[in-house]
Each structure stands twice: as C-alpha cells, then as structure tokens.
Amino acid sequence: MDRAFQRTRILTNHLLLSSPAQTACLTSNDCFNYSPPELSEKYAFDVNEMRKLMDGHDVEERDRLFGLIIQSKLFNPRVRGGKVFVLPDYNQSMEQQREMTWKRIEYLLERGVFKGWMTGEGEDVEMKRFACFEVLGLFDHSISIKLGVHFFLWGGAIQFFGTKHHHDKWLRDTENFKVKGCFSMTELGHGSNVRGIETVTTYDSKTGEFVINTPCESAQKFWIGGAAKHATHTIVFSQLNINGINEGVHALIAQIRDADGNVCPNIRIADCGHKIGLNGVDNGRIWFDNVRVPRENLLNSVADVSPDGKYLSSIKDPDQRFAAFLSPLTAGRVNIAVNAVYQSKVGLSIAIRYALTRRAFSLKPNEPEVLLLDYPSHQRRLLPLLAKIYAMSFGANYLKMLYVKRTPQSNKTIHVVSSSFKATFTWSNMQILQECREACGGQGLKTENRVGHLKAEHDVQSTFEGDNNILMQQVSKALFAEYVMAQKRNKVFKGLGLEHMIKPCPVIPSQLTSTTLRCSQFQMDALCLRERELLNRFVADVSQCLAKGESKEQAFNMSYQVAEDLGKAFSDRAIFLTFIEAEATLAAGSLKDVLGKVRSLYALDCLEDIAYLRYGCLSVENAAAVRKEITKLCSEVRPHALALVSSLGIPDAFLSPIAFNWVDANSWSSVQH
C-alpha cells in the first residue's frame, strides 16, 4: 500500500511539473553567439609586410592566380556561413575527380598561367613557377602533382638530360599540352633503389632504334602519375644494354598513346586504382613489349649511342653518370618541400582561427566560457607549430633561391639541402596537420573543414620522390664525406654550413636564464653543438665498424640511429640560419620584435629534441628551463596569434567554415539552403 502511494505521488509531481504554467517558468542560458576574432584581437605589426617576408616573391602573381580560382565554378565554390569557399568535391568518384583535375588544368592553360614555364629562361621564370605551384597546391594536391609530373619531371628531364634537338622538339609542345608527359622511373620491385630497376633497353644498329622491354612482372613501371588516363608520352628509365654490356640506368622518350588517347602497340597500361588521397591523379602501371623508339629519343646530354652502336660518354665514372640522371628529382623535391609548408599554413590558419572563437568550460560559476587559445595547454599545442611554420617558410625560400641559382659546383649542396628539407618539411606537415585535426575536435573530421582530409592527401609526400628515412641517411653520409675529406686533406670545413666545426666548441652555461635562452647566438650555438656532437659520434661509430672489417655500407647501416639524429640536427640548424637571415633584413620595430619571439619559440622547440639529453648536450635542469621558457613564450606570442596566421597569405576562400562563422555555417537554415 505504501509502495502504491509513493508511486502515485511521484506521478502526480511529474504531471504538475510538466504543466504549461510550470514550463513557462523555466529559463535557458544565453545561446552562444559567434564573434569574429578581429573585434578583440589587435594587430601589433603590418601583416602585409610580414606576408611579403614570408612568401618571399611573386605576391602579385599569387593573388592573380588566387582570383582566377575563386571566380570559376570549376573550382567548386560553396557558400557556408556567409562566405565562399573553394574545395574539390571529394564525394566524386575517382574518375570524376580525374576529369575535374584535367578540366581545371585546361582552364588555367587557356588563361596563360603556364606561359613560359618550359620555354622561358631565368630566375624570375622559375620563381614565378614555384609561386604558382604553391597557390595551386593550396586548392588541391592532385592538380599540383599532375602539373608537377608534367612540368618538373617530364619537362625537367628533357631540359636536363636532353640536348638542343630535344628542347626544340618537345618543350613548347609540353608547355601548351600538345604533349602530355609522365615519368616512368619507379617499378613494382624497385622504388628508392633506382639503380636496381629491371626494365631493359637494347640497341638495334640495323634499324637505328632502341628496343624497350619489361622482362618480368617486378619490372612493370608502377605509380606513374598521368599514365593511367591522360599521358601521351613518357620518360622511360631502364638499364641500357649495349653489345652485351650494361651501361647502367639511362632515359629515353617513348610514346604510349596516340592523339586520340589510344594506347600504342606493344604497350600495356593498367590503373593503380583508388588511393587514400590524390585520386585526381591517374597513377598507372606500364609494361613494354619490344617497344621500338628512334635513336634520337635517347636523352643524350650525359651519354649517347652512335648510329653503329657505340656507347659514348664524357663521364667515365658510372657513379657520377648515375648521379647526373637523378638531377630532375631535385626540382621535384624542392617543389614537394615547399608545398608541404603551405599545407601546414592552411591547417594552422584554420585551427588557430577556430581556437580564437571556440569556447569551452568556465573557470568560475556564471562566467563566460574560456577561448580555447587562452588555455596554456592549447597554446602549447599550436603556437610552437606556428613558429615552426615561420622557420620552414624562410627555409623554403632559401631552398628555392639555392635551386634557381644553381651551378655545377652547387649541385651537391642542393642535393643535400633539398633532401634534408624535403624530409623535415613533409614529416613536420604530417605532425602539424594531425595536431590541428585534434585541436579542432570533432569539426576536424569534416571534409569541408579541410584539416583531416589534407593529412590523407599529403601522406604520400613522406615516401615519393625519395623516402624520407633514406633521404636523411643520404644527408648523414654526405656530412660524413665532408668530415673525412677535411681530415684527410687537413683543410677547413667549407660548405653545407659546417664551418662551425673548426670553431671552439660552444659551452652551455650550467644555469640557463631567460635572457640567455632568448639570445639568438646562444640558440645557434646550441644547435651547432648538437650537430657537432652527432657528427663526431657518427664518424666514430662508422670508423669503429670499418676497423672491425665491415664494409662501408654495412657500417652506415649499423649506425643508422645516430645518422637519423644527425640528419635532423643538420636540418634544424640550417633552417634556423635562414630564420636569422630573414630577421636581419628587418628594421627595428614591432614586426621585428614579434618575429624575434617567434624565432626564440622555434629555437627552443628544437632544443626539446630528446637528442640533447641523450647525448649530454643539455643537463636535466637546463632541459627543464627550456620547457618552462617555451610556456612563457607561448603566452607572449598568444596576443599576436591572429596577426601571425593572417600574415601567412592564405585567402579566406582557401580555408574552411570553422575558421570563420562556424555557427551560421552549421545552422538549420544552411541545411535547408
């Protein structure tokens, strides 16, 4: 009876509380209203001047190309939250994405974007081309890779390996896309080890033709961008066998499709299929079955074959000859490295803008929720990455200038720096995009918000045009060679920035103060100290293995852990030097003051590398002081966060809805529209 009474009372109370009179008394908290960060965040410096410093060149050309993209429906403009955004439709099928990539290229071709890219000469032409690639990559990775294969790899091979008759025949037709080129180097069985590729080319002196063959399944050309659908011609890398002697890897031009898109006789092409990203690029596989090409199609700036079948080359050393055939990859690496920096700019611009408007939790009852970027932990996640982007931008500008001013004497430096920066920038891009994805919470999962999808699209950068781990090993081997050469010839280090090796070893104070930690000379000394320590250790480890009778290659393999740390130390020091040089161009003022804080944040972030503790370059106490100073610098950079991302030069249309009014972008009215 008591139980029945209790249940009746609960039900009665429930009905009374649900009555209209009672409901009217309920009140709700105020709804969140979006407030643009520009209303509360102040600019302490001229963002246009900072942008010029960051982009480094061709700002007007970049803006012109941004405008061409935004104004065309081909680039899929969509209105979200009252703003227009351009973004590929990744819901399209693989075939549709490929066709849209090609239509966009045709649109740009009709508007003269590619004019002079193959037929023009001079540093200005090359720098303008880099700028255009950076802009196009901000819209879609597929279009930049498609164009990169055509211009940098196919076109670059003809420029570097070919001679005048190749240039006259192919370059203009490449520039206007009468010829659509691809680059057949990698195979199913060989990627990084280009020297081991299995495709074979022989010479028939009776007909004056080369004969290309795929002798086994592992020799099929694999991951060839453009081969599956659009390419009409390709550069074929193969083992050149003349009179029974293998002369090593050489490059020839072969036609794979006719003008109507039909695959040529004795050639088989298959699609590589759907990928985790880059589905706007038609990667394909190619088999050659006794494919005959004219003798003139051998790209012969390095080596030639006479009409009667004699092998001719002014470079007698096979190693040097092989190195010459890899030169087009340098341009590709430069382009990939720079592209990675700009993708990171997009991710951080979105994540930081979102963190300047998104709130979570109140510190006290009845107080407003706190902006994400006002939490020290959120600052620690994003602001050191922003400092890294600034450093990488200056490094990218240096790398481009190093490349366009190349000479035969600078080729080694270009190879080492481009390998180092390509690995560092692309690895950093993955780290930055992942952190930005997490910092955006669930919104980071939406494709339209870009950050998560950018990570999938650019994952490939870590392995194509040189696996990053192998590139870093090459960097360490080059540093080893410089060290040994300097010791043998009793000469000073000259080149690759190793001049610091002959100076007195830097001494780190036993107690690091804030003033010391922010001193650019201390920062450079600390970075040089790590590189010096690791290079000495690497040489000692390799020498010890050699003394035990190991081969040089095995000695390098056994010392791979120190080699990896050395490659990173070289890269960090080289990038930091470009930051110092960029900062030195500025007159005293607020822009230089803010940039100095960003530089210190980058340098101290480098000093948190575990190698400093592992090899005794920093004491535990000093490592703790570095960490404490980073937190302090983050709080000082925080007021400039909006100005710093606004200086990255990314138009609003290339960001995403959560970077702006994400409330309106997700409102019910937007669903109905």
Tell me: is residue 466 an annotated ligand-binding position.
Answer: no
Beta bridge partners of 431: none
d(CA 330, CA 312): 25
State how far Cα 465 lies from the chain centre: 11
Residues 6+ positions from 281 with CB-CB distance below 8 Å:
98, 101, 142, 145, 146, 149, 225, 226
Query: Is 649 strand, coil or helix?
Result: coil
Report which of 69, 70, 65, 103 is spatially closest to residue 280, judged by C-alpha positions: 103
Report which of 77, 61, 164, 63 is spatially closest to residue 116, judged by C-alpha positions: 61
Phi-psi region of 112 (alpha: psi -120 to 50; beta: other; left: phi over 0): left
d(CA 250, CA 203): 13
Are residues 659 and 652 in contact, defined by beta-carbon separation less than 8 angstroms?
A: yes
CB atoms within 10 A of CB 155: 26
As given in the structure block, the two tokens for residue 448 are 């339209």
Tell me: is residue 225 an annotated ligand-binding position.
Answer: yes
d(CA 341, CA 327): 23
Are residues 138 and 654 in contact, defined by beta-carbon separation less than 8 angstroms?
A: yes
- CA dihedral 651→597→358→54, nearest 10 degrees, is 10
d(CA 512, CA 527): 15
d(CA 218, CA 370): 58
No. of H helices and E strands in the chain? Answer: 25, 15
Query: Is 81 strand, coil or helix?
Result: coil
Which residue in 126, 134, 465, 629 is the catalytic one? Answer: 465
Terminal CA-CA length for the chain: 58
d(CA 386, CA 601): 9
Task: Summarize the chain as % helix, strand, coil (round to 5).
Answer: 60, 10, 30
DSSP H helical segments within 585-619, as ranges?
590-607, 611-614
* Amino acid at position 113, single letter: V
Identify whether 465 is a catalytic site residue.
yes
Bridge-based pairing of strands 181-184 and 233-242 is parallel
Angle at 177 between CA 171 and CA 180, to 5 degrees: 90
d(CA 603, CA 390): 11
Query: Is 435 strand, coil or helix?
Result: helix
Please enumerate, by residue number, every residue annotated as part of a binding site. Answer: 186, 225
Known catalytic residues are: 465
Please enumerate, by residue number, every residue annotated as part of a binding site for FAD. Answer: 186, 225
